[in-house]
Amino acid sequence: MRDLHPTPCRPILGDLLAGLALALIAAGAALAFWVATLHAAAAQVGPELVVRACAADRPGICETRTYPTCDRDMVAEALAAEGLVMGLAVCRAPLVEV
């Protein structure tokens, strides 16, 4: 006569395989995110100027802006045209490996 009860190792094996599949999917997603982050970081080609721009007529009203150049004079003129003054400005350039 045939035993109608399943062996105890079958459900455990199925759970282990399902857990392994989920772990592989999570690892693949993490790897894809890491590659996308590296690709986005490599896409930054040139230097950029990060500027703290403040309202000329109201001190304390400031915002941070980023410009795709490190030419401070050009950025100062652009800000002055909007009625803003340039505060702290930092030029960020990508690292170049030789």
**Predicted structure pTM score:** 0.49
CA dist 82 → 53, 69, 76, 85 (Å): 10, 18, 10, 9
Each residue's pLDDT tens digit, 6-21: 665 556 777 788 888 8
The model's confidence at residue 23, banded by pLDDT at 50, 70 and 90, is confident
Give, as one character, the DSSP assignment of residue 56.
Answer: S
The two structure tokens encoding residue 70: 């490190």
Domain ranges of the chain: 1-43, 48-92
